[in-house]
Amino acid sequence: MIDIRLSDNLELMAEIEDNTVDLIYCDILYGTGRKFKDYQDLKPKREIIEEHYIPRIKEMHRVLKDNGSIYLQMDTRINHWIRCIMDDIFGYDKFLNEISWCYTGASNNKKTYPKKHDVILFYGYKLIEPQRIPYKSGIHNKGNYFKKKGGKNECRVNELEDIGKIVEDWWIDIYPINPASKERNYDTKKPKALIERIIKASSNEGDLVADFYAGSFTTAEVCKDLKRNFIGCDINPNCLEKAKVRGLFSFTDEHTKVD
Ligand SMILES: C[S@@+](CC[C@H](N)C(=O)[O-])C[C@H]1O[C@@H](n2cnc3c(N)ncnc32)[C@H](O)[C@@H]1O
């Protein structure tokens, strides 16, 4: 089931029963105050951010299963406020990671270090399937694998090279979509590889995954590829066109509800 809606996320979440969603991934409004081509972002004012997010994060908490996980993506403008809201609603004991998704790019900023990472707050349940990436000498530390243990060292190093390094909480191997490319047909569209990593790590086939700030419905396409069910929405009517380009309508005819 791929259920795509054009709606305010508060309205969609109100329709979802308690304790039903296995995984929530949302690339939320970052509080830049910018008018993007595709949508207007919130201003980076604490009252505005709290007014928007507190009711929505309460709803996310209600619909998420007790053993479910939630990932919220933003950047450093508002992550400290969102983290306090998440702690209040989900509980500090449910905080698992603050992942840094790092990239590089042109910048004329000489006043500060150019800001080149997003923050992904991960709360909820432990990883279901820790992901691995190719081990790269000079980037990754071998850690325990490096210690000599009764002559078994060589075998353990080979194992690391064969099966890869468990992904840590800093991601430098996934590139953002080039703003000038054809693929970037929606402002702030995220690469599929980023969402694939999260969905593989924190859900099983057949699980229900939700994205309540879906934009061009990248998460829905990844769910289709990985055989997860999807429910999600965006408030911007142009997003349905983007979902169509991804071929999600032919896939979802029966399930797509356009309000
Ligand atoms: C950062 S973008 C998401 C981009 C998306 N990850 C992608 O790959 O295309 C945030 C989205 O949230 C949507 N949005 C803002 N307020 C919303 C609301 N109240 N309900 C639903 N969607 C909302 C915006 O229209 C925008 O498309």
- Tens digit of each residue's pLDDT, the chain (259 residues): 999 999 999 999 999 999 999 999 999 999 999 999 889 999 999 999 999 999 999 999 999 999 999 999 999 999 999 999 999 999 999 999 999 999 998 888 889 999 999 999 999 989 999 999 998 888 887 766 555 555 555 556 677 788 888 999 999 999 999 888 888 888 899 999 999 999 999 999 999 999 999 999 999 999 999 999 999 999 999 998 888 888 887 655 445 554 4
Nearest-atom number in ligand 1 for the CA of 52 is: 19
CATH code 3.40.50.150 region(s) in the chain: 2-131+167-245
- Determine if ligand 1 sits within 6 Å of the CB of residue 195: no
Strands (E), the chain: 2-6, 21-27, 64-74, 95-102, 117-124, 132-133, 165-166, 170-171, 208-211, 229-234
Bridge partner residues of 209 (DSSP): 23, 230
CATH number belonging to domain 2-131+167-245: 3.40.50.150
Rounded Cα distance, 173 and 131, in Å: 13
Nearest-atom number in ligand 1 for the CA of 239 is: 27
Rounded Cα distance, 225 and 202, in Å: 15
DSSP state of 93: G
**Parallel, antiparallel or unpaired: strands 21-27 and 2-6:** unpaired
Rounded Cα distance, 112 and 133, in Å: 31
